């Protein structure tokens, strides 16, 4: 019976994939029919036209840029070269398809030749292989009608020998990323799936085997977004993993190949909207970086596919700002034009607060949707995970167009044991370097169960979220909660901590780049001619200002950062109450 079921599944997959192999080129995302719709969008949507023009400007710049080469500067990663090739190929191939200018087609071919001639695509760090495979697949597919037989063979063989064969080896031996643990599964699964789809029909056996495996792997990654869309590795890695996840879903949709599109993926677009502050900086928890970024193609696709008018409104506004400020664009930026959502018919009344449960629970508040608004984001969650930090209970705060309370972000990935046994020996990954608590001089539990939101309130002028942080402080206290309250009318945030039976004194920290002046119960922060005030409302505690200096010379020195510290003596029931007022 089981053999019959397995045979039926194999036949069904083979038939579906056989249909895929019959699809004409170009078949990845932009068939000839879709291309006509894109031309119409560019003609009739002013924002699409601006984004397309920006892509053409980048394509013109790229024409004279060097080709990719076998350069592994850190001794481990070819990733920079893979991304270099991907940006060149997708921009120049896009420009050729929509202008017909030969200079773009020739530059795409030049990059294909360079990528295919590399000795390998560095399969020991498989992200490099997946991104290079994506690049060559796009160039091969989008230029397919114009390629010579020799050029087609060059691309096919490079994809097979340098991507599909190494991928099969890793699937067969259950390489760690094939178990859907983090963004690697999305990038590697999607990159290889896209490459297999591009050459389907040219190496039927290997492509036929790998494509459904890749789809199944990426489908399992839906758990990253459950239940409310908060990605466990933070907004920076949401951009990376989700962009590839969406690229595979969108490819399958264009090819009429069934792939699950979970509702929680649509919710993740909401999370990204709220996680981006009025200063356009993200709440960069985990290994993320606090840098303004142009919205990714994934955000366009999600807003369009799920018909999310609030996301569409915010996305289009942020894209317009990115264009006017000439922000750096994604290496796959042309796909933003392809998937750009239509402008909503009416101005969307966007929510000023949002709560997200999941592996990394979070609450985000803002006074309004403008560049000078106050914004407060806080998380629970767990340090566990590939890019996790001991940042349970940590927060960021913006007001007056300034980020006042910062997350330092990750450190050098090449430091010894960064992703293994030495991870939490590094300052930037400890709770001592985050806007949270240190109890009794101890670190948070690195393997803590996720700390959830246990209560919320919301009204016209205020909202709040209460986090149970007990799991993260299992060795430090009997119970720990942190409640965040936000007043929409004033932009004031209030953080109330309740610690039962702490093992020692409690240290409350906040990291800033501002000048700090202590006066009694308050600390005034001044930056760029503006100021905010932190006030201790609870009875006990001493403020101090320290340098954010790590203990090891190899670590980031955190130049320019200061630590606002409130030290509270141990009591059986310790309460800390701090107000942040803009």
- Residue 256 region by backbone torsions, left for phi larger than 0, else alpha for psi between -120 and 50, else beta: left
Helix, strand or coil for residue 512? strand
Q: What is the pLDDT of residue 329?
A: 84
Residue reference for tokens 């000439």 = 326
Number of neighbouring beta carbons within 10 Å of residue 438: 24
Quick check: 49 and 94 in contact, CB under 8 A?
no
Q: Is the pLDDT of residue 503 over 70?
A: yes
Quick one: how far is CA 203 from the chain centroid?
34
pLDDT tens readout for residues 404-457: 999 999 999 999 999 999 999 999 999 999 999 999 999 999 999 999 999 999
Phi, psi dihedrals of residue 544, rounded to the nearest 5°:
-150, 160
pLDDT at 230 over 90: yes
Residues 87 and 47 sit within 8 Å (Cβ to Cβ): no
Return the percentage of the chain with pLDDT > 90, whole number: 92
What residues contact residue 111 under an 8 Å CB cut-off, 6+ apart? 67, 68, 85, 88, 89, 92, 135, 139
Region at 280 (left for phi over 0; alpha for psi -120 to 50; beta for the rest): left
- DSSP code string of 279-292: TS-B---TT-----
- What pTM, to 2 d.p., does this model score? 0.94
What is the C-alpha end-to-end distance of the chain, expressed in Å? 69
- What pLDDT score does 203 carry? 64
Residue 315 backbone zone (phi > 0: left; psi -120 to 50: alpha; other: beta): alpha
Q: Average pLDDT in the 281-289 region? A: 96
**312-to-162, 243, 273, 526 alpha-carbon distances in Å:** 39, 17, 10, 35
- CA 392-394-396 angle, 5° bins: 155
Please check the confidence at residue 12 and state whether its pLDDT lies above 90. no
Long-range Cβ contacts of 460-465 (<8 Å, 24+ apart): 460/488, 461/487, 461/488, 461/489, 462/486, 462/487, 462/488, 463/352, 463/353, 463/365, 463/488, 465/355, 465/363, 465/378
Q: Is the pLDDT of residue 327 over 90?
A: no
CA 285-387-546 angle, 5° bins: 50
Q: What DSSP element (H or E) covers 18?
A: helix 2-21
At the topology level, CATH places domain 2-339 in: Glycosyltransferase (1.50.10)
d(CA 321, CA 323): 5
Contacts of 138 (CB under 8 A, 6+ apart): 28, 86, 89, 90, 93, 194, 198
- Checking if the pLDDT of 41 tops 60, the result is yes
Average pLDDT taken over every residue of the chain: 94
**Residue 2: per-residue pLDDT:** 34
Over residues 277-298, the mean pLDDT reads 95
CATH of 353-581, one of 1.25.10.10, 3.10.20.30, 2.70.98.70, 1.10.3720.10: 2.70.98.70
Q: Can you tell me the mean pLDDT for 218-244?
A: 97
Section 551-571 average pLDDT: 97
Q: Which residues lie closer than 8 Å to 497 by C-beta, 6 or more apart? A: 437, 480, 481, 482, 483, 506, 508, 574, 575, 576, 577
Average pLDDT over residues 274-289: 96
Closest Cα to residue 369, out of 347, 341, 343? 347
Q: Does pLDDT of 147 surpass 50?
A: yes
Is residue 298's pLDDT more than 90? Answer: yes
Tokens of 513: 């780049």
* Strand-pair partners of 483: 466, 496
- Alpha carbons 70 and 132: distance in angstroms, whole number: 12
Residue 115 confidence class, pLDDT cut points 50, 70, 90: very high
What is the 3 state secondary structure string of 207-267? HHHHHHHHHHHHHHHHHHHCECCCCCCHHHHHHHHHHHHHHHHHHHHHHCCCCCCCHHHHH
Q: Half-sphere exposure of 549 toward its Cβ, with a 13 Å CA cutoff?
A: 5
Mean of pLDDT values over 32-61: 97
Could you state, in order of their start, the residue ranges of all structural domains in the chain?
2-339, 353-581
Q: Give backbone dihedrals phi and psi of 510, rounded to 5 degrees, phi first.
A: -145, 135
The pLDDT of residue 1 is 41
pLDDT at 205 over 90: no
Question: Taking residues 351-362, what's their average pLDDT?
Answer: 97
Q: Which two tokens stand for residue 512?
A: 């800033």
Token code pair at residue 301: 């696709």
Strand 530-536 relative to strand 573-581, pairing: antiparallel
Report the half-sphere exposure of 8 (CA within 13 A, side-chain side). 5
Q: How far apart are CA 112 and CA 100, in angstroms?
A: 18
Residues 261-271 have a mean pLDDT of 97
The DSSP bridge pattern shows strands 515-519 and 542-547 to be: unpaired
């Amino acid at each position: 019976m089981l053999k019959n079921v397995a045979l039926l599944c194999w036949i069904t997959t083979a038939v579906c994939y056989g249909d895929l192999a019959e699809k004409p080129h170009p078949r990845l995302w932009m068939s000839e029919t879709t291309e006509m719709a894109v031309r119409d969008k560019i003609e009739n949507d002013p924002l699409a036209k601006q984004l397309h023009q920006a892509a053409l400007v980048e394509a013109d710049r790229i024409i004279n840029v060097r080709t990719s080469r076998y350069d592994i500067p850190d001794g481990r990663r070819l990733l920079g070269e893979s991304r270099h090739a991907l940006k060149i190929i997708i921009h120049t191939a896009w420009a050729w398809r929509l202008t017909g200018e030969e200079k773009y087609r020739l530059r795409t071919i030049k990059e294909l030749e360079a990528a295919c001639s590399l000795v390998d695509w560095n399969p020991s760090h498989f992200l490099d292989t997946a991104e290079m495979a994506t690049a060559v697949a796009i160039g091969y597919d989008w230029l397919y009608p114009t390629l010579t037989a020799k050029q087609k063979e060059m691309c096919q063989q490079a994809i097979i020998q340098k991507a599909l064969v190494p991928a099969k080896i890793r699937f067969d031996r259950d390489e760690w990323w094939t178990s859907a643990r983090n963004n690697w599964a999305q990038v590697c699964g999607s990159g290889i799936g896209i490459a297999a789809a591009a050459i389907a029909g040219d190496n039927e056996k290997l492509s036929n085997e790998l494509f459904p495996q890749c789809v199944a792997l990426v489908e399992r990654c839906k758990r990253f977004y459950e239940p409310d869309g908060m990605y466990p590795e933070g907004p920076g890695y949401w951009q990376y993993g989700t962009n590839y996840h969406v690229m595979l879903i969108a490819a399958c949709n264009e090819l009429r190949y069934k792939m699950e599109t979970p509702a929680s993926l649509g919710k993740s677009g909401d999370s990204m909207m709220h996680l981006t502050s009025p200063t356009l900086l993200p709440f960069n928890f985990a290994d993320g970086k606090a840098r303004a970024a142009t919205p990714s193609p994934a955000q366009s696709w999600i807003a369009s596919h799920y018909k999310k008018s609030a996301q569409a409104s915010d996305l289009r506004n942020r894209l317009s700002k990115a264009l006017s400020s000439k922000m750096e664009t994604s290496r796959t930026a042309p796909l933003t034009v392809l998937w750009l959502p239509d402008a909503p018919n009416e101005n969307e009344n966007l929510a000023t607060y949002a709560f997200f449960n999941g592996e990394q629970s979070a609450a985000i508040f803002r006074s309004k949707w403008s560049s000078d608004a106050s914004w407060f984001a806080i998380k629970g969650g767990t340090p566990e995970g590939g890019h996790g930090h001991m940042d349970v209970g940590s927060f960021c705060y913006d007001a007056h167009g300034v980020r006042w309370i910062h997350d330092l972000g990750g450190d050098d990935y090449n430091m010894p044991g960064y992703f293994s046994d030495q991870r939490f020996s590094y300052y930037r990954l400890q709770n001592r370097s985050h806007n949270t608590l240190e109890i009794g001089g101890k670190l948070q539990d690195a393997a803590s169960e996720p700390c959830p939101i246990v209560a919320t309130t919301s009204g016209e002028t205020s909202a709040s979220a209460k986090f149970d942080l007990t799991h993260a402080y299992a060795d430090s206290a009997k119970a720990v909660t942190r409640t965040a309250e936000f007043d929409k009318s004033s932009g004031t945030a209030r953080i109330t901590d309740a610690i039962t039976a702490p093992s020692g004194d409690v240290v409350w920290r906040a990291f800033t780049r501002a000048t700090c002046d202590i006066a009694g119960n308050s600390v005034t922060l001044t930056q760029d001619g503006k100021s905010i005030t932190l006030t201790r409302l609870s009875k006990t505690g001493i403020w101090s200002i320290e340098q954010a200096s790590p203990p090891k010379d190899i670590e980031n020195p955190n130049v320019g950062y200061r630590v606002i510290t409130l030290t509270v003596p141990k009591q059986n029931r310790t309460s800390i109450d701090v107000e942040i007022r803009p």
